[in-house]
Amino acid sequence: QAAEKWLRDQAQAQGWAKAQKLQGRNTSQGLLGVLVRADSAAMVEVNCETDFVARNQQFVSLLQQVAASCVANSSGEAADMELSTTAISPGELGTSPSVEAGKTVGDLVALSIGQVGENISLGPAAVFRAGAGVRLAAQCHPSTGDGGAEWQWGRYAGVVAYTTPGQELEDEAEFTRQLCQHIVGMGPT
């Protein structure tokens, strides 16, 4: 156990060293990830140098960990309004606690940089908290994989907060999916 901990610490240190060396490189590729859990949703952006890394399962896993960290860090906040939205800057996101105990989101990024050998940077994030009676739905396009309704990722993303007239809507999931598709496609302000 001590040897495993030492190896993890060494990998983390090497990741930070490589991150410092590569930090000036352009990160024009990347993905948006959306995680919807009950009354919370997080939309995060993580960028990298090439689309090959963006399609890598390790990169998608990092994206999911960043989104899960945003949801976990916001879960204690009460949503007194119908919908509250919190914007998180890349700097704030990097210093926030991650889902891995004792590590920040920045630590996870540095470890990934050390493993993939390419610069990775955090983009902005947004956390949505729905109040009583409000539901959240999301859609990404083009989705690079099927993470189910809770977890999705792609180049574009939309999150919708909505209420229903009291009764269950027929094909509610399909309707909200199509609504999100229109939002992604039309880009309304």
Instruction: Tell whether the model's pLDDT for residue 120 goes beyond 80.
Output: yes
The pTM for the full model equals 0.80
Q: Exposed (0-12), middle (13-18) or buried (19+): which is 146, by Cβ within 10 Å?
A: exposed
> Residues of 57-94 as b/e, b for ≥16 C-beta within 10 angstroms?
eebbebbbbbbbbbbbbbeeeebeeeebeeebebeebb
24-76 pLDDT per residue, tens: 666 779 999 999 988 899 999 999 988 888 888 999 999 999 999 999 988 65
124-141 pLDDT per residue, tens: 999 999 988 888 989 888
Instruction: Tell whether the model's pLDDT for residue 92 goes beyond 60.
Output: yes
Residue 141 DSSP SS3: strand
Which pLDDT value is given to residue 146? 54
pLDDT bucket at 98, cuts 50 / 70 / 90: confident
According to DSSP H, which parts of 34-102 are helical? Answer: 51-54, 57-74, 90-95
